[in-house]
């Protein structure tokens, strides 16, 4: 029995049951497949997290974000700037107690280099309802090249516990269709 | 050098009794220690479980029981009490049982073992006091720069030292048993599984010491800075590895219950032991699961580690997933239930809570905890669920529906055999594993469902009523959280019945003196009668093959469904 010493003293020479052997082979091959599929996704898939990251003092990061917001601010919503960077630009997003700052306005189908960092505790960048979740550390500036594939209004929730106001920590990203954006600009210039 | 000199204690003449049901020699000192650790385990399960109910009722949006401050405090206490204290106290009891009792040996250095027990009790009590005082609501993971009171870290360190002593006593007992020839040949499979758990425990506690001692000094102001990323890398060397202790321990318990209740014998010693060995060699790498969404880590590092070096440890669990039910099927067919494909399963002792708890644990651990764990631990897929409530959904599948349920099932053997008390209220006990198991399975599934819809873990208010800008989750997410609350109540009822039956039995259960028939009988003949049937070439396992095939198809389908979800996300690199 499983609770008594093996019946055969030399148990390692016992032949293996066929059904066990088949299952071991199946499990092993499935493991090799899953291992290979993660590698393959770096070549065939469009969702792979970049390792690009820099050490940065939180105060320096805060300055960068403020400069960025000042440069591309298009309007304000309840005191929070809405920032619309040009395509391909470096975009700086700040996690702090208890806010994602500033709000962003991006264009569908355009790539942006999104910088993520915190100036106090760890936070969790959770883009909803899309479902992209990335850990944000103070002292580390993580750069993710992000391309929105749908337009609309999206929320950023914090999903790393960051104290008593954790549940109030939110942010927002607007994504506009490129055509829409172009016509807005046309009318703006025509006026 | 004898084990006594290693343990630094003096040899002793032990007092033994012989168990009327298993024929095993039971060392009185080991028996007392098993009782003490099991009782402490149940006390902390009761505290932590109650806290868990409060957490679930707060996260049920329609109920929203606790204020925010209390919610985060209770959530910290819940994780610490059930994930650490309940489980590790019980595991120490399992280690002493699997060494001294199963090997007919005396326990090494019982005084030393009592010292370990006292340290663990002091640590666990101090942690609870510190958390309840407030200002230490840092969650079980205590990620810096968030800081708890120094006593929080000190309490965990004391507890870990106590647990390490327990492991040392276990190793020394193995040495004594071998030296004194208390058994013939190799150690039993269950003891081998416990040994696996103890070896992983040493690695786990070492990782914990490496990170918690500096963090404690930091909280005292003696160290200026703890790098948050470094902390996570090392902390998860403890945090995830401790779950591998649980897996090894509860798989050992599956084999033990199979043996004692239906007379199961491993299909092949070689295969089952190699599967345990896979855990030692590869499971620790899985700690990297927790770092898939962190900045600065290379994809190749993530892939090698999260795949436990090509999923060799997953293979270990998949092997146990066949050999445990396979050995039960083989035994049941020998017991005469040989008709059709599933008579062995239909006529299994479902009324015995040790068996039903064990089998539900096996099924839920595999289907819910195991499959979701592999998906969650896949490099790219992690981004879908990182830090959502899917994560607690997954680990309630592994560590509650798997480990806790298996430990509960084992308790129904420990009570008559070690406490020598007849189980009180057998009618309630019979239903307990079903109530608790189904409750926890519901918790796990609905939390996973809510997580897929984006609901974050450790979050007081998903309506964002005070947040600016606001955000609204879908109605489905709220439905999932409500169902989670309902099933948490079911699980809490199951948990309360467990505590009630254990406390009632320990205090007032009828003493077992003679070898009368137990309410929940063991397999006839206990130790020896069934150990002689052959294995190779004589066993047909059609039922197990069907079960395993269903598992494999579910696994593959669920794996690819998640890649489909991932492919629909915004692009990022």
Lowest mean pLDDT among B223-227, B261-265, B365-369, B535-539: B535-539
Q: Tokens 């060397």 label which residue?
A: B237
With beta carbons under 8 A apart, name residues in chain B contacting A137. 228-229, 294-295
Q: Tokens 């599967």 label which residue?
A: B275
Predicted structure pTM score:
0.94
Distance of CA A128 to the CA centre of its chain: 11
**Residues A171, A144: one domain?**
yes
- According to DSSP, residue A80 is labeled E
> Is B519 within the bounds of a domain?
no
The pLDDT assigned to B412 comes to 97
The pLDDT assigned to A9 comes to 85
Nearest-Cα residue of chain A relative to residue B530: A1
The pLDDT assigned to B306 comes to 84
Nearest-Cα residue of chain B relative to residue A32: B310
CB-based contact (8 Å) between A27 and chain B? yes
Is the torsion defined by CA of A120, A121, A126, A132 positive or negative?
Answer: positive
The pLDDT assigned to B571 comes to 96
The 10s digit of each residue's pLDDT in B26-83 is 999 999 999 999 999 999 999 999 999 999 999 999 999 999 999 999 999 999 999 9
Residue A72 token pair: 């591309």
With beta carbons under 8 A apart, name residues in chain B contacting A28. 315
Q: Tokens 């048993």 label which residue?
A: B177
Long-range contacts of A22-27 (CB under 8 A, 24+ apart): A23/B318, A23/B319, A23/B322, A23/B548, A24/B271, A24/B315, A24/B319, A26/B552, A27/B314, A27/B315, A27/B318, A27/B319
Distance of CA B228 to the CA centre of its chain: 27
**Residues A32, A62: one domain?**
no
- For chain B, give the percent of residues with pLDDT over 70: 95
CA distance A69 to chain B (A): 17
Least CB-CB distance to B229: which of A78, A137, A168?
Answer: A137
**Residues A57, A123: one domain?**
yes
> Is B94 within the bounds of a domain?
yes
Contact A130 B570 (CB under 8 A): yes
On the question of pLDDT at B525 being above 60, the answer is no
ipTM given for this complex: 0.93
Mean pLDDT of chain A, nearest integer: 93
> Is B524 within the bounds of a domain?
no
Pairing of strands A112-118, A103-107: unpaired
On the question of pLDDT at B19 being above 60, the answer is yes
Q: What is the CATH number of the domain that holds A131?
A: 2.60.40.420
**Residues A120, A146: one domain?**
yes
Q: What is the CATH number of the domain that holds B282?
A: 1.20.210.10
CB-based contact (8 Å) between A153 and chain B? no
Q: How many helices (H) and strands (E) does chain A have?
A: 3, 12
Nearest-Cα residue of chain A relative to residue B258: A2
pLDDT confidence band for B537 (50 / 70 / 90): very low
Backbone φ, ψ for residue A177 (5° rounding): -70, 145
Contact A34 B559 (CB under 8 A): yes
The reply to whether omega before B145 is within 30° of 0 (cis) is yes
Contact B541 A53 (CB under 8 A): no
**Residues A25, A82: one domain?**
no
CB-based contact (8 Å) between B554 and chain A? no
> Any idea what the Cα angle at residue B210 is, between residues B209 and B215, rounded to 5°?
85
How many Cβ pairs closer than 8 A exist between chain A and B? Answer: 319
B151 and B131 Cβ atoms separated by less than 8 Å: no
Contact A26 B552 (CB under 8 A): yes
Give the structural domain span for A85.
53-186
**Residues A21, A91: one domain?**
no
Q: Could you give the residue ranges of the DSSP H alpha helices within A45-146?
A: 58-72
Task: Name the domain count of chain B.
Answer: 1
**What CA–CA distance (Å, rounded) separates B564 from B293?**
19
On the question of pLDDT at B534 being above 70, the answer is no
Q: Could you give the residue ranges of the DSSP H alpha helices within B26-109?
A: 28-59, 68-78, 87-96
Contact A1 B259 (CB under 8 A): yes
Least CB-CB distance to B323: which of A3, A20, A141?
Answer: A20
CB-based contact (8 Å) between A42 and chain B? yes
Task: Name the domain count of chain A.
Answer: 2
On the question of pLDDT at B526 being above 50, the answer is no
On the question of pLDDT at B288 being above 90, the answer is no
CA atoms within 13 A on the CB side of B115: 13
A121 and B145 Cβ atoms separated by less than 8 Å: yes
The 10s digit of each residue's pLDDT in B233-275 is 999 999 998 899 999 999 999 999 999 999 999 999 999 999 9
Contact A24 B315 (CB under 8 A): yes
CA distance B119 to chain A (A): 30
| Other Cβ atoms closer than 10 A to B134 | 12
With beta carbons under 8 A apart, name residues in chain A contacting B139. 161
The 10s digit of each residue's pLDDT in A85-114 is 999 899 999 999 999 999 999 999 999 999
For residue B182, the SS3 value is coil
The reply to whether omega before B53 is within 30° of 0 (cis) is no
Query: B100: closest CA among B198, B20, B178?
Result: B178
Across the range B364-376, mean pLDDT stands at 96
Q: Could you give the residue ranges of the DSSP H alpha helices within chain A?
A: 18-44, 58-72, 178-190
Mean pLDDT of chain B, nearest integer: 93
**What CA–CA distance (Å, rounded) separates A160 from A157?**
9
Nearest-Cα residue of chain A relative to residue B189: A2
**Residues A16, A89: one domain?**
no
CA distance B369 to chain A (A): 17
Nearest-Cα residue of chain A relative to residue B541: A19
Across chain A, which distance is largest between two alpha carbons, in Å?
A: 93
Least CB-CB distance to A3: which of B188, B318, B537?
Answer: B188
On the question of pLDDT at B424 being above 90, the answer is yes
Strand partners, B25: B18
pLDDT confidence band for B532 (50 / 70 / 90): very low
> Is A80 within the bounds of a domain?
yes
Nearest-Cα residue of chain A relative to residue B140: A161
- According to DSSP, residue A74 is labeled E
With beta carbons under 8 A apart, name residues in chain B contacting A96. none
Strand partners, B319: none
Contact B145 A120 (CB under 8 A): yes
Residue B179 token pair: 């030296």
**Residues A81, A161: one domain?**
yes
**What CA–CA distance (Å, rounded) separates B345 from B383?**
40
**DSSP per-residue letters across B309-331:** HHHHHHHHHHHHHHHHHHHHHHH
**Residues A29, A106: one domain?**
no
Across the range B285-292, mean pLDDT stands at 88
Least CB-CB distance to A170: which of B228, B464, B570?
Answer: B464
CB-based contact (8 Å) between B341 and chain A? no
Contact A134 B310 (CB under 8 A): no
**DSSP per-residue letters across B205-231:** HHHHHHHHHHHHHHHTTSSS---HHHH
Backbone φ, ψ for residue A76 (5° rounding): -130, 145
**What CA–CA distance (Å, rounded) separates B283 from B245?**
10
**Residues A83, A26: one domain?**
no
Give the structural domain span for B386.
27-464+477-511+537-567
**What CA–CA distance (Å, rounded) separates B22 from B405?**
23
- According to DSSP, residue A10 is labeled T
**Residues A103, A179: one domain?**
yes
**What CA–CA distance (Å, rounded) separates B364 from B371?**
10
Q: Which string of b and e fits B252-289 if b means at least 16 CB within 10 Å? A: bbbbbbbbbbbbbbbbbbbbbbbbbebbbebbbbbbbb
> Is A3 within the bounds of a domain?
no
**Residues A86, A18: one domain?**
no
The pLDDT assigned to B305 comes to 87
Least CB-CB distance to A45: which of B380, B462, B565?
Answer: B380
CA distance A72 to chain B (A): 20
The reply to whether omega before A162 is within 30° of 0 (cis) is no
Pairwise pLDDT comparison (B449 vs A88), residue with the higher score: B449
Least CB-CB distance to A134: which of B312, B383, B467?
Answer: B383
With beta carbons under 8 A apart, name residues in chain A contacting B379. 38, 41, 48-49
- For chain B, give the percent of residues with pLDDT over 90: 85
Alpha-carbon dihedral of residues B68, B71, B72, B74, nearest 10 degrees?
A: 150
Across the range B444-467, mean pLDDT stands at 96
> Is A2 within the bounds of a domain?
no
On the question of pLDDT at A187 being above 90, the answer is no
The pLDDT assigned to B437 comes to 98
The 10s digit of each residue's pLDDT in A38-52 is 999 999 999 999 899
CB-based contact (8 Å) between B178 and chain A? no
On the question of pLDDT at B91 being above 90, the answer is yes
Across chain B, which distance is largest between two alpha carbons, in Å?
A: 71
**What CA–CA distance (Å, rounded) separates B149 from B131?**
9
The pLDDT assigned to B320 comes to 96
Interface of A with B in 54-73 (CB under 8 A): none
> Is B470 within the bounds of a domain?
no
**What CA–CA distance (Å, rounded) separates B117 from B84?**
14
Nearest-Cα residue of chain B relative to residue A121: B145
């Amino acid at each position: 029995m499983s609770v008594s010493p093996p019946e055969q003293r030399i148990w390692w020479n016992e032949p293996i049951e066929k059904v066990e052997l088949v299952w071991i082979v199946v499990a092993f091959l499935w493991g090799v497949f899953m291992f290979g599929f993660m590698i393959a996704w770096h070549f065939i898939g469009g969702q792979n997290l970049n390792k690009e990251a820099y050490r940065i003092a939180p105060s320096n990061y805060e300055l960068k974000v403020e400069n960025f917001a000042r440069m591309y601010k298009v309007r304000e919503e309840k005191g929070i700037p809405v920032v619309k960077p040009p395509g391909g630009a470096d975009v700086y997003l700040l996690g702090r107690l208890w806010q994602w700052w500033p709000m962003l306005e991006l264009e569908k189908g355009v790539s942006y280099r999104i910088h993520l960092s915190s100036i106090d505790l760890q936070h969790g960048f959770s883009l909803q309802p899309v479902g992209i979740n990335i850990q944000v550390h103070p002292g580390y500036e993580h750069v993710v090249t992000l391309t929105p594939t749908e337009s609309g209004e999206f929320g950023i929730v914090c999903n790393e516990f960051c104290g008593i106001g954790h549940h109030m920590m939110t942010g927002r990203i607007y994504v506009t269709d490129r055509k829409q954006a172009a016509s807005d600009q046309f009318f703006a210039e025509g006026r | 050098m004898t084990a006594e000199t290693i343990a630094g204690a003096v040899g002793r003449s032990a007092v033994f009794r012989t168990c009327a049901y298993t024929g095993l020699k039971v060392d009185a000192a080991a028996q007392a220690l098993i009782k003490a650790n099991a009782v402490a385990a149940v006390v902390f399960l009761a505290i932590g479980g109650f806290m868990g109910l409060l957490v679930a009722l707060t996260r049920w949006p329609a109920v929203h029981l606790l204020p925010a401050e209390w919610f985060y405090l209770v959530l910290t206490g819940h994780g610490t009490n059930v994930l650490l204290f309940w489980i590790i106290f019980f595991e120490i009891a399992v280690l002493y049982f699997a060494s001294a009792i199963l090997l007919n040996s005396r326990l090494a250095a019982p005084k030393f073992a009592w010292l370990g027990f006292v340290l663990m009790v002091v640590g666990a009590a101090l942690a609870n006091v510190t958390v309840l005082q407030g200002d230490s609501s840092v969650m079980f993971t205590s990620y810096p720069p968030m800081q708890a009171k120094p006593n929080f870290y000190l309490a965990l360190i004391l507890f870990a030292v106590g647990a390490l002593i327990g492991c040392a006593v276990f190793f020394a007992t193995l040495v004594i048993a071998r030296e004194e020839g208390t058994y013939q040949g190799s150690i039993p499979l269950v003891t081998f599984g416990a040994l696996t758990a103890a070896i992983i425990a040493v690695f786990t506690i070492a990782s914990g010491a490496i990170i918690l001692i500096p963090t404690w000094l930091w909280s005292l102001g003696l160290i200026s800075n703890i790098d948050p990323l470094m902390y996570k890398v090392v902390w998860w060397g403890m945090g995830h590895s401790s779950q591998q202790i649980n897996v090894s321990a509860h798989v050992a318990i599956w084999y033990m219950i199979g043996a004692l209740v239906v007379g199961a014998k491993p299909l092949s010693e070689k295969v089952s032991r190699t599967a345990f060995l896979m855990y030692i060699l590869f499971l620790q790498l899985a700690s990297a699961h927790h770092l898939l969404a962190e900045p600065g880590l290379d994809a190749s590092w993530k892939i090698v580690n999260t795949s436990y070096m090509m999923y060799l440890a997953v293979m270990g669990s998949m092997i146990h997933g066949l050999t445990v039910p396979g050995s039960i099927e083989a035994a049941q067919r020998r017991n005469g239930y040989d008709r059709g494909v599933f008579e062995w399963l239909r006529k299994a002792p479902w009324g015995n809570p040790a068996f039903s708890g064990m089998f539900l644990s096996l099924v839920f651990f595999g289907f819910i905890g195991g499959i979701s764990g592999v998906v969650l631990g896949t490099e790219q897929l992690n981004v879908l669920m990182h830090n959502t409530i899917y994560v607690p959904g997954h680990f309630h599948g592994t560590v509650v529906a798997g480990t806790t349920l298996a430990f509960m099932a084992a308790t129904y053997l420990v009570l008559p055999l070690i406490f020598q008390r007849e189980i009180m209220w057998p009618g309630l006990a019979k239903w307990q594993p079903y109530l608790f198991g189904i409750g926890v399975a519901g918790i796990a599934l609905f939390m996973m469902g809510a997580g897929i819809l984006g609901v974050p873990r450790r979050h007081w208010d998903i309506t964002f009523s005070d947040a600016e800008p606001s955000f609204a989750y879908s109605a489905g997410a709220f439905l999932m959280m409500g169902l989670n609350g309902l099933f948490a109540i079911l699980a809490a009822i199951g948990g309360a019945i467990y505590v009630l039956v254990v406390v009632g039995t320990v205090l007032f259960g009828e003493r077992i003196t003679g070898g009368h028939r137990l309410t929940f009988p063991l397999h006839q003949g206990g130790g020896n009668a069934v150990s002689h049937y052959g294995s190779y070439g004589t066993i047909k396992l059609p039922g197990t093959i069907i079960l395993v095939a269903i598992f494999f198809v579910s696994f593959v389908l669920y794996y690819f469904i998640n890649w489909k979800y991932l492919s629909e996300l915004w692009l990022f690199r």
